[in-house]
Each structure stands twice: as structure tokens, then as C-alpha cells.
Amino acid sequence: MNSSFDAQAFINNLTHQPGVYRMYDADGVVIYVGKAKDLRKRVSSYFRKQVDAVKTKALVKNIATMDVTVTNSETEALILENSFIKKFRPRYNVLLRDDKSYPYIFISAHEHPRIAFHRGTKREKGEYFGPFPNGSAVRESLRLLQKLFPVRQCDDSYYRARSRPCLQHQLKRCLAPCVGLPTEAEYQQQVDLAKLFLRGKNQQVVDSLMQRMEEASAQLEFEKAARFRDQIGALRQVQDKNAVSGSQSMLDVIGLHRESGFSCIQVLFIRDGQVQGSRSYFPKVPANTDNSELLESFLLQFYLNQQRAGQIPAEVILPHGETISSDVQTALSDALEKPLKINATSRGERARYQSLANKNAMNSVSSKLSSQTTMANRLSALKKALEKARVWDVDKPVERMECFDISHTMGDQTVASCVVFDQQGPLKSDYRRFNIKDITGGDDYAAMAQVMERRYKHAIEQDNVPDILFIDGGKGQLKQAEEYFADWPQPPLLIGVAKGESRKPGLETLFLGFGQGAIQLSEDDPGLHLIQYIRDESHRFAITGHRQRRAKVKKTSTLEEIEGVGPKRRKTLLHNLGGLQQVKSASIEQLAQVPGISRAMAETIYHAFRDE
């Protein structure tokens, strides 16, 4: 902690009221913004003697000063926190990046406003509603708005050139302000109703129309009253349709995947029982941020954007097994002025959406990792780290990297994997697996020695010796590689990748071969992210090979041979799914719906048949 900041004196003068606190570094830059139900309790928690979170320790160390803003309620604090995060972009907050490619519905600030499709920079004056998942969702909404509210959707050049009403007026889809048919007040009323509708205030729109219908009727303006009646009927139909299709008419499903320095949140937009679109978000995530904090920050920034008001669903489904604070959920509902159900427990169709969102998040991260720009940046960072450790020449390029991993079950069916990366990323045509034989079961050192001999026996004449060889393991596995390459005139640079005590990504120690020491890169170092990516890929490739070998030994996979499936579960599965073939072809979600079958057991059954 900065010595000039007297934390105790600051805390002593703090109130117990709700509010928002801001932390500044020595240069006066906001480094963190947080909210609190009780400012003194929350702020004092950062300065306890025992703070376990690495992220909190790093944050507190950089605090030079703090200030607070007291609010009337926790809900107000929530909204203010979101505003400050967007304004200051603090480096220790999870930050949701803006994306100007999203489509919006735009209501202009003209004398006679128009409703239009918008994508790109918001230069024109007016109100923007969205963002929507894709262009078709905006166009569908515009068609609905045209039926409900007779506000012009034509562009300005067409509007100015009119001398008589167009076809839209004849279809009762526009009041024809271009030729002065409605009064200014009548037209503005419809514009205001359209805005309320886009903000999700449907009942408020209906109440307003009913009041105007009664006023028109009382003044014997029956034609005007009939128009309001028809509008109310159209709105009621929209509400009835949503009520019949249930909560899935407005449902967002969140997927989350974190790998090698990237965090991807995938949002599936379910509207009227169909996947209307999806978006991938890659928020900036400070080191040592757990999933619950990441999800809470995302949900607050994503849904508190007032431009999204009309698109807020009735329910949000989190990734399986993830939770957020009930206080955050309550405060978010209060801030949005509508109930928002958030949970991670799902079955049936919701579970399938949940699985689909996670698959899309994994795919998005995979694509991001494989991009040439990402590879080039990470490879450059790794090269600089090795140059700094004096184990790599500045002028020498890194053209080929390999990594080994060993996989087995209690010493049986041991498989070693070798994955290969070049400057563009994974070189899958050069991936190799080795079935390890004639060793004591579970002896990873002997397995590593055997795979070294088999992989590099003819490597020199085949001209495919790597520049860097990563070994997934500590000094013991690395020693096997050192012994093999001991008499080589120009061996590859050997690096053992050992996990930290908690085995969390980011705490790896890199042991350099032949006694050149060890280095530990920071958790957010792009070079370490590349090593993690290569290591994880070798692990995945080894496990896949091991499963295939294990299944081949079994010859066939029947229900009786699957561990944990006894006569009772076998009978339940066959009875509920209709037969063995149906069990074999069932998805994890379908298996998990069978009484007595947990999700873990469903995954075991699913993979048992697919590993054949």
C-alpha cells in the first residue's frame, strides 16, 4: 500500500450508508470503482491484516488516495458504479468493451421524428434503443412498431419530397406528418408511446391509450377513439403472445469459457422460443478475478446500459454451476424497475440452450487463440522473456515448438501426446500420439523417456527438431528430456512447465533445461498465455488418445460395463429412453433428465459410448 495513504484515518471518517468508492493511484488515475451497502464495512475489508486474494493485495498496494459518493440506496449505488466504470475504465475492474457494430433502433430528434435502423457511430441527435443481436431482429421490431404506432420510418429525402400521403398512411401505419395531417401534439404522443414500448413499459402504453380513448369518446370523437381502441387491441395481442409462449419469449442464456488469458462471455438471445442471435464478449479481466465476480460485473454493465431497456429479458440463465450474489440480483432488478430472474439451474430446453452457449464461448476462445495476430503478439512476448533470461539469442526466430504430456488411468493404457506449434499456431498435421508399453504402470518418468526416444530417434535427418520443447511437469519429467538430449550438439531449449501449489493457471513455474534456472512470468503475460495454450492443447490431445485406447481395450461399451451403472440404473435408462440405441445416441442433457442420473453420471455414459 502507498505509504502516503492513511487507510485507518480514512476508514474512521467513513459512513455506514450505501454508496460508491473510487481508488486512485499516485498519478491520480482511478484504478478501481466499487459499490457498497455499507461503505465503512466494505472499504475496511480491503485493509485487513489477512487478505487472501492476490488481486486485492495488488490493488491495495497501488492505492494513493480514495473518495466516496454516498447514495440513498444500494440500487442508486449500483447505477452510479456502472456510470463511473464506463467513464473511468479502471484497470482493476472487469471492463466490457464497446462494439460499434451492433444494430440499434433509432428515433431521431427532428420536428417530426422518424424511427429507423442504425448501425455504427452515433453521430445523429436522437435516442438509440438496443443493441440488438443482429439486423434481422431490428427489422422485425421495426415491422412490429409500424403496426402499433403510426410514426414515419421513411428517410428525410423521401419525407421532404411528399406532396400527398403515401401508401403507409392508407394502411394506417403513418399519420402523414409530411403533409401536415396530424397536429404536432398528436404525432408527438405516438412518438412518446413508441419510446415507452421500446423501453419495455408495455402496460404504461396501454394505460395511456385507454385514457386517451376515454377522453376522445367523452368528446364524441368516435373515429379517434376507435383508432386508440385498435392500437390497444394490437398491443394486447403482442402481450398475449408473450404470455402464451412463457418466459422463454424473452430469455438470455450466458456461456462462459476462460483459457490461456482469454475470457469469453457468450450471450444467446432467445426470443419467442427461438435463438434470435448471439454475441461474443471478451471483457478485460484483471488477474485473479474469479468467475462470480466476472459474471456479476458483466451482468451489471450489460443490463444497466439504459439503451438496452427494451431488450431486457424476464430470465437470465448463467453457466452451469455458477452463481452470483442474491444482493446483486435484487439490486439489478430494482435498478431496472422490473423483476429479473437469474439462475444456473436448468433442465430440458433451457439446459440445451445453456450447453449451446458454453460451446459457442469455447469456440470463440479457440478462434481467438488461433488468430495470427494473437499468436504473433504472444510469441513475441515469449521470445522477449527468454531473451531476458539469457537463454535465447535476439536474432534467432522461434519457428517450431513442441509439447509432451502423459495420460493414463491408474497406470493403465498410458498414452503420450506430442503437439506442434509454428508461428501461425497449431500445426495439427504434425501432432503425434504414442502408446506407451513395457513400463511399470503409472511411471510417468519412464513414459517420458520412452516417448523422447521414439519421437526424436530420426528427427535430425528428417529436419523436424523443435526450437523449444515444453514438458508438462516439473523437474522429474524435465530430467528425462535432459538425459536424452545430453549428447546432442544443438539440443532444443527445454522448458518444464510446473503448476503452482494451487494448480491454478497463472502460477506456473518454468524450469529451464540443463540447470539454467527457473523463471515465473506474471499471470497476465502474453508469453505465459501462449505456453498455457500449448500445454492445454497437449493435455487435451493426450486425454483424447487415452480414452480411445481405453475404449478399444473394452471392445464394446455396454451399459453394464460403465462404472457406476448397475442393474437398477440400466433398467431406468432403457425404460425412459426406449432402448440401448436411444441411450447411445442421447445427449448429455437427455441422459441427465432420466431420474437417478446426475449430470456427472450422464457425462460418463455419454463419453463411454463415444470413446469407442
The four Cα atoms 266, 267, 272, 277 give a dihedral, to 10 degrees, of -60
Q: Determine what percent of the chain is predicted with pLDDT higher than 90.
A: 21
Amino acid at 267: V
Burial class (CB in 10 A: 0-12, 13-18, 19+), 29: middle
User: CB count, 10 Å around CB of 143?
Assistant: 12
256 close to 299: Cβ distance less than 8 angstroms: no
Comparing 106-120, 168-182, 359-373, 489-503, the range with the smallest average pLDDT is 359-373
pLDDT value for 23 = 93
What's the pLDDT band for 242 if we cut at 50, 70, 90? very low
- Which own/partner contact pairs does 221-228 have at CB distance under 8 Å and 24+ positions apart? 227/172
Comparing 61-65, 66-70, 102-106, 486-490, the range with the smallest average pLDDT is 102-106
- Cell numbers linked to 152: 414515419
Query: Which CATH number applies to 248-370?
Result: 3.30.420.10
User: Do the domains at 7-88 and 555-610 have one common CATH topology?
Assistant: no
Sign of the dihedral through C-alpha 476, 479, 484, 490 = positive
104 close to 118: Cβ distance less than 8 angstroms: yes
Identify the H or E element spanning 481.
helix 475-485
pLDDT value for 232 = 76
Q: Determine what percent of the chain is predicted with pLDDT higher than 70.
A: 89
pLDDT value for 513 = 92
Does 555-610 carry CATH code 3.40.50.1220?
A: no
* Cα 462 to Cα 469: distance, rounded to the nearest angstrom: 17
Half-sphere exposure of 26 (CA within 13 A, CB side): 6
Q: Measured at the alpha carbon of residue 355, what is the angle toward residues 353 and 361, in degrees to the nearest 5?
A: 105
531 close to 510: Cβ distance less than 8 angstroms: yes
Order of strands, edge to edge, in the sheet holding 30-36? 30-36, 19-24, 65-70
Q: Which residue has the higher pLDDT, 419 or 589?
A: 419
Beta-carbon contacts of 96 under 8 Å, excluding residues fewer than 6 positions away, are 281, 283, 297, 298, 301, 302
| 399-434 burial code (b ≥16 CB/10 A, e <16) | ebbbbbbbbbeeeebbbbbbbbbbeebbeeeebbbb
* Cα 562 to Cα 605: distance, rounded to the nearest angstrom: 7
DSSP state of 295: H
Beta-carbon contacts of 307 under 8 Å, excluding residues fewer than 6 positions away, are 104, 128, 129, 130, 131
| Residue 359: C-alpha distances to residues 362, 424, 605 (Å) | 5, 24, 19
**Whose CA is closest to 498, among 528, 468, 475, 479?**
475
Beta-carbon contacts of 485 under 8 Å, excluding residues fewer than 6 positions away, are 452, 456, 491, 492, 494, 513
Query: Which CATH number applies to 372-551?
Result: 3.30.420.340
pLDDT value for 412 = 77
Domain extents for the chain? 7-88, 103-247, 248-370, 372-551, 555-610
Amino acid at 237: Q
Order of strands, edge to edge, in the sheet holding 103-108? 115-119, 103-108, 126-129
- Cell numbers linked to 470: 515444453
pLDDT value for 372 = 66
* Cα 342 to Cα 386: distance, rounded to the nearest angstrom: 46
* Cα 153 to Cα 169: distance, rounded to the nearest angstrom: 11
Identify the H or E element spanning 293.
helix 291-303
* Cα 339 to Cα 337: distance, rounded to the nearest angstrom: 7
pLDDT value for 557 = 47
Does 7-88 carry CATH code 3.40.1440.10?
A: yes
pLDDT value for 33 = 93
Dihedral class, residue 25 (left if φ above 0, else alpha if ψ from -120 to 50, else beta): beta
* Cα 315 to Cα 336: distance, rounded to the nearest angstrom: 13
Most confident of 29-43, 363-377, 594-608: 29-43
Q: Give the pLDDT confidence of 253-299 residue by residue, as tens digits.
A: 999 998 878 889 988 888 766 666 678 888 888 878 889 999 999 99
